[in-house]
Structure 1
Amino acid sequence: MLYKVARFVVAVIFFPLYRIKVVGRENIPKSGSVLLCSNHISNLDPPVVGITSSRDIYFMAKGELFEKRFLGKLLTGINAFPVQRGLADRNALRTGLSLLKEGKTLGLFPEGTRSKTGEIGEALAGAGFFALRSEAEVVPCLIVGPYKVGKQLTVIYGKPLDMEVYRSSKTSAKEMADVIMKEIKKLKENYQSR
Structure 2
Amino acid sequence: MSSRKRPKASPSPVSWLQLGKPPKASAEVQALLDRTQEKLGYVRNGQLAVLHRPNLVLGQDAISRAATQDPDSALSRRERELIALVVSSENRCEPCVFGHAAALREITGDPVLVDRIAVNYRHAGLSERERTLADYALKITRRPGEIEPEDLDALRKAGLTDLAILDAAAVAAYFNFSNRINSALGVTPNPEAALAHR
TM-score (norm 2): 0.31
From the two aligned structures, give the one with the greater helix fraction. 2
